[in-house]
Amino acid sequence: MEVTGPRPERHIDIYRRAVASLEACLPLGWSVTSDRARSPEAPKRILVTAPDGDSVSYAVITSRGVLSGDVARISADLTESDRGFVCAHYLSDPVRRQLDQHGISYADATGNLTLVAARPAIWVRNRGADADPWRGPGRPSGVLTGEPSERVVRALADHVGDISVPELIKLSGASTGATYRVVEVLAERELIRRIPRGPVTSVQWEPMLRGWSADRKPCATRSFAAPDGLDAVRAQLAERVDPGYAVTGVGATDYAATDVLEVYADDPDEFAAALGLRPVDRAADVVVAIPWTPVVFDRMERREGLRFVAPAHVYADLLAGPFRNADAADHLRSRMEADESWWRRPLGRGL
């Protein structure tokens, strides 16, 4: 399908292009109607009606950018009996496959389309562009990987308040070009709001952390036994002066007591030797991850003499990777939502 014209940006324009693709592919006698929306927002629902009058309703999810890491969240936001219809300016092949696996219908502005329902029985599919026709050379990939993404995401999650990009560069420690690229990705995925050529005014920290955790590459881990028990390990860690470790995982939350200590350390062998730990293949007392970047040690918390990864990073670790635990992640998210002042710092002017 040849795509012409500018990329649709407003939600209503993205929706109109998607529905136009759908209507062009529906069998004769089928129709699409929707509730009325106030521009520039898109309708909340569409109704697809068969020639005999039987119909099926879909919740409309409109977004400028959807990545594989976003699909699970979209699916979780739908009720068990509801159907979703995702509209975007472009949906990549991996994202389309993820949506198919979750039974979510979709259409993008290039003509990629799938609509499914059991009653009335319908299956409509169309092939559009294989690459984003509006993404020019040098544009960001849309994936939150690498140290700049970690630095920018953590800086935005850990702080609250309007922040300009130059201030964000200083706060995060990422390079100028990389910060602007990450900010563009976050804005395109609607994880932040930014005034054109102005500051970031709003951060959707939970979906941002969820998207980052899904995109980043898991760290390698080493497993160790503690011959003298975890209490002895914790006592030794509390006496350490150097910040060469940070506790994460379930043990960094108040969700439940745990019999495995999960930590980050730059040099697992040196860390283990200092604590008298012994390498094992299974039944570990201590699991040590080698961080990809030093961001894990930014803005650590200290409790009972131990150093803990910042709550935003702990939450991302519980969502995906070697320290994942869905129940603990839900518990921590509830705490973070209930009192953001507990873990998000206000931004001062003298950054």
Give the pLDDT confidence of 174-233 residue by residue, as tens digits: 999 889 889 988 988 888 988 877 899 999 999 999 999 988 888 889 999 999 999 999
Q: Characterize the bridge pairing of strands 245-248 and 55-63.
A: unpaired
Domains of the chain plus CATH, in order, are 11-126 (no CATH), 146-216 (1.10.10.10), 221-338 (no CATH)
Confidence (pTM): 0.68
Q: Which residue has the tokens 């979709």?
A: 106
pLDDT tens digits, 24-55: 999 999 999 998 877 678 899 999 999 999 99
Cα–Cα dist 177/200, whole Å: 16
pLDDT band at 154 (very low <50, low <70, confident <90, very high): very high
Burial environment of residue 10 by CB neighbours within 10 A (0 to 12, 13 to 18, 19 or more)? middle
Task: Quickly list DSSP for 26-76.
Answer: SPTT-EEEE----TTSPPSEEEEE-TTS-EEEEEEEEES---HHHHHHHHH
